[in-house]
A and B are shown apart, each in its own frame.
Chain A
Amino acid sequence: MTLGIVTRLARRLAFLAAALVAATTPAFAEVSTEPQLKAAYLINFLKYVEWPETGTTITLCLFGRNSLGPYLAAHEGRQIGGRELRIRKVSSVEQLADCQELFIPDTEATHFAAIMRWVDKQPILTVSDAAMFLREGGTIALVRSDGGLRFDVNAEALDHAGLRASPLMIRLARQVTGAPR
């Protein structure tokens, strides 16, 4: 007897789902989990930023607590703009020499000031998922907004690091702070 109920329930739920599809226009064409999407941004930024020196590799460094590692590892070795992507964990100044991009998770917020001193004037794109990161002199902050993920850019900090972001990237940013465009 419960079988009948379940079958009916299944049918009702299926029609409900179908009705939802028909009745609503999708706000997001695709969905992802938050760490996966953050990892995707970190890699994607590499396509829109120009570094003063170009080598054969491009290195994305992760500072401290490594929560995005598993989502990035699969892309290691891929070509981005003709350069091979490398992923590195870092914890000290000496290790920063090779980094083109540095991700500092919000859990390391107390280290922001110290890290910004290390990377001062070096051509390193610094990214964090803490909203206050730009006030500390960071270049990009990933922020949650309306069920998705957006980013803020500190143009002054970019300039200070000797990096050039593409106009498209600046235009897509939620907020641009610092120097005039």
Chain B
Amino acid sequence: MNQRHRKHSRFAGPLLMSLAMLFATPASADIDPVAMPLDELLKVGIVSAPKFAENPEQIPSIVSILTAEDIRLYGWRTLSDALRTLQGFNVTNNHTYDYVGTRGISKPSDPRPRLQILIDGISINDNILANSPADTSFPLDIALVERIEVIRGPSASIYGGDAMFGVINVVTRSGQSINGAEAGLVLGSGQEKRLRATWGGVVDGKDVLVSYTGSDANGRTLTLHDLNSDGSARDIHHVGAENGEQLFVKVRGSDWSISFIHARRDREAPTGSYGTIPDGRGHVESDTYSHLSATKDWRPNATNTLQQSFYAGSFDYDGKFPYDFLSDGLVTSVDKLRGAWWGIENRLVNTRWSGQRWTFGFEFKANARQDQVNQDIDVNNIGCFGYRVGPCLDNRQHSQQATFMAEDEIQIGSATLLTLGLRHDNLGRLGQFSSPRLGLVHDADGAGLFKLLYGTAFRVPTVFERAYSTPSVMYGNPNLDPEKMRSLELTWEKRLSRQSRLSTTLYHFNITRMIGTDPSGLAVNGAPTNARGLELEYEHQWSNGSRLRTGYSVQHATDDMGTLDNSPRQMVKLNLALPTGITHLMAGSEGQWISARKAYEGTERVAPYLLVNLNLSYAPSGQNWDASLGIYNLFNHSFNDPVAIDNTTALTRWQMPQLGRSFVLRSTLRY
């Protein structure tokens, strides 16, 4: 406990540091090509762009772009708040983590979303769980996000395994856009406090950003019905209690960039999951990510561009699971996962042949460390109580992978673009995989834009799925086979006016040997899974700042047992931001309706829910501050999310009640 008190004082340092930097020289605002004189343009320096900054109309699948303005207007607290507004996305929560599912594939509490999550084009998925967190353990403060690019459909031919359902690229704000010092303060229900100090600007033609966020929350009280054996209600406290910090540093030059991320989150899990002592403060799960990357662009000649990146990352997970064994007294089972990796990525873009754009890629990645340790600890001993003297699990691995990819984008006439891609992954003992991809984009002018994508993807079992087993938890299965996916999707996009856009996607995919668990909890390859669905989205922006985005998805994902767990048949999403009539005060509201979902191996049904959030944001023009008030679950609707089958100390759990109404007050101050 005393450690928790000590942590608060850490806010002071960064705040002082940002105050110390007030003397920073302000540069002018964004470039306006109409108003700016030509001689000013000559004075603008070029900074390298993250690799996604291409035309979304040339990508053969549907692309959603969420901007910093959306984040501000709707008051999104995390990446998952943003993703759950998109059609086809289903986000669930068990009060320890958020889980992101897409297109009907969202097994309850599956830590692996089968998506690649990138920050400025560099993957941050760890090498033990292949997880890409979207909740508060996401290593970047959402206030530093410029935009979120969501590219759907199998992108394994470019981004490798885990890009089965697509890629989410989080693009960070430029230092220039901050242009000085910025302090952000967030106060929320459950005594949530989040303080951010950021400095950004142009230094000698380089774009620099430094930011630190410290956060702490005491958590909320929640009533659960699966902690007493008679099913009666029991209040648990400190749900969502956490402490964390996020550091981000980025420097971009004309043809290079360097960035460093370090983030830690300690989350309390008083819900009694995994049968730990409920309503205590001893069950804590911590995630720490560190990531360093450096990218350099070379232009050997007019038709070739080579981008080289070096990256190194580490992931530490520490889980403390307290148990009360009548015979042995209090015992804490401790998990320690330690991942470390580094790699180099080379990407050559060649435009030598007219109407063609070749991309060749070579990547080498060394998983220097993929260690998993579990042991029992009580006041006197360390070991695997009741089984052996040593730890319950001590599995240390390392591996390497090499990848070669080639893609050709062929312009056919002025209206058609054909994309042919092939990627070959050599994952050593886990096998070799070839992932072809074929895409076609046709711009039929008045009739809209047609996109066709056929793709394949694979996913190898993680070291967690293969090796996490203790004498009492038999989960890891060394005999798992890789999953394979084939998918076909057709998209139609039509710009109805300059301000509005309609898009429709029809898809079908199948996954063979999808990894799940058998009734005993062992990781196993499942029966073939088939899914098909339709996603519709309409967007409109008005000149007075109003904006509307609404989507409908219908999806059907089945295996030999019928519809999958946590696979809603229908989803309706609505985001609407309107001026309130009071100058500079905008109201952003969002609604998400998710139809009923199955849980507990298809034997239980979790009722549909409608979640409505409201965010009032006030940004006076010409002022150096803004503020907003977000009300989440506005109508205090009680609903549940399916979770992995779990045994509490009393009963079997397969769903988790969600929080009622919450408030978050945000303010930003710029110097």
Residues of chain A at the chain B interface (Cβ within 8 Å): 2-3, 6-7, 9-11, 13-15, 17-18, 20-22, 24-37, 39-45, 47-48, 63-67, 69-70, 75-80, 85, 89-92, 106-111, 130-132, 144, 147-150, 168-169, 172
Residues of A contacting B10 with CB < 8 Å? 3, 7
Bound-state Cα–Cα, A48 to B302, Å: 28
Stretch at the interface among B49-57, B336-344, B360-368, B431-439: B49-57
Residue contact B43 to A29, C-beta cutoff 8 Å: yes
Contact B23 A22 (CB under 8 A): yes
Take A14-B17, A27-B204 as given contacts and tell me if A75 and B34 are in contact as well, using a CB distance cutoff of 8 Å.
yes
A3 touches B355 (CB 8 A): no
Decide: A44 and B38 in contact? CB cutoff 8 A: yes
Chain B residues with CB below 8 A from A76, complex form: 498
Are A89 and B414 closer than 8 Å at their CB atoms? Answer: yes
Q: What residue of chain A has the Cβ atom nearest to residue B211's Cβ?
A: A10
- The smallest beta-carbon distance between B348 and chain A, in angstroms, is 15
Is B560 close to A, CB under 8 A? no
* List of A residues within 8 angstroms of B204 by Cβ: 20, 24-27
Inter-chain CA distance A28–B25, complex, in Å, is 13
Would you list 7 pairs from A and B whose C-beta atoms are within 8 A, ordered by A residue?
A14-B212, A30-B202, A32-B46, A37-B41, A48-B38, A65-B355, A66-B55
Q: With both chains docked as a complex, state the minimum distance between the C-beta of A98 and any C-beta of chain B, in angstroms.
A: 15
Q: Is the CB of A91 within 8 A of B203?
A: no
Q: Is the CB of B33 within 8 A of A70?
A: no
The distance from the CB of B5 to the nearest CB of chain A, in whole angstroms, is: 14
- Name the interface size band of chain B: 35 or more
- Nearest-neighbour CB distance to chain B for A86, whole angstroms, equals 11
Q: In whole angstroms, how far apart are the Cα atoms of A92 and B208 in the complex? A: 44
Interface pick from B115-123, B245-253, B459-467, B619-627: B245-253
How distant is A20 from chain B, measured CB to nearest CB, in Å?
A: 5
Chain A, residue nearest B357 (CB): A107
Complex partner residue of A33 from B14, B27, B53, B357, CB under 8 angstroms = B53
Query: Is A28 within 8 A of B354, CB to CB?
Result: no
Would you give the shortest CB distance from B271 to chain A, in whole angstroms? 26
Q: Are B41 and A35 in contact (CB under 8 A)?
A: no
Interface centre among A30, A47, A70, A77 (most CB of B within 10 A): A30
B17→A11 contact, CB < 8 A: yes
Structural contact, A111 and B354, CB atoms closer than 8 A: yes
Of the candidates B44, B55, B411, which one forms a contact with A69 in the assembled complex, judged by CB atoms under 8 Å apart?
B55
Check if B53 sits within 8 Å of A35, measured CB to CB.
yes
What 8 A-B pairs come out closest when comparing CB atoms? A91-B414, A28-B45, A110-B354, A40-B33, A147-B254, A43-B33, A33-B49, A28-B205
Q: Which of B7, B210, B443 has the most CB of A within 10 A?
A: B210
Q: Is residue B28 contacting chain A, with contact meaning CB distance below 8 A?
A: yes
Determine which of B21, B42, B443 lies in contact with A18 in the assembled complex, contact meaning CB atoms within 8 Å. B21
> Would you call B42 and A148 a contact (CB within 8 A)?
yes
A97 to B207, CA, bound (A): 42
A69 touches B17 (CB 8 A): no
**Cα separation A85 to B55 with both chains bound (whole Å):** 21
Contact B351 A17 (CB under 8 A): no
Q: List residues of chain B with CB within 8 A of the CB of A69.
A: 55, 57
Q: Looking at the complex, which one of B45, B247, B249, B299 makes contact with A31 (CB distance below 8 Å)?
A: B45
B519, CB-defined interface residue at 8 Å: no
Closest to A131 in B: B302
Known A-B contacts A24-B203, A35-B53; A30 and B43 likewise in contact (beta carbons under 8 Å): yes
User: By the criterion CB–CB under 8 Å, are A13 and B46 in contact?
Assistant: no
Residue pair B357, A65 in contact (C-beta under 8 Å): yes
Q: Closest residue to A63 on the B side, CB-wise?
A: B414
Assess whether B55 is in contact with A31, with CB atoms less than 8 Å apart: no
Instruction: List residues of chain B with CB within 8 A of the CB of A130.
Output: 302
B179 nearest CB neighbor, chain A only: A30
Pick from A26, A78, A79, A108: contact of B25, CB under 8 Å: A26
With A3-B245, A17-B203 as contacts: A148 and B31 at CB distance below 8 Å: no
Report chain A residues within 8 Å CB of B24: 18, 21
| CB-defined contacts of B13 to chain A, threshold 8 Å | 7, 10-11
In Å, the complex CA distance between A172 and B202 comes to: 24
**How distant is B339 from chain A, measured CB to nearest CB, in Å?**
15
- B165-198 interface bits toward A, Cβ cutoff 8 Å, 1 = contact, 0 = none: 0000000001010000000000000000000000
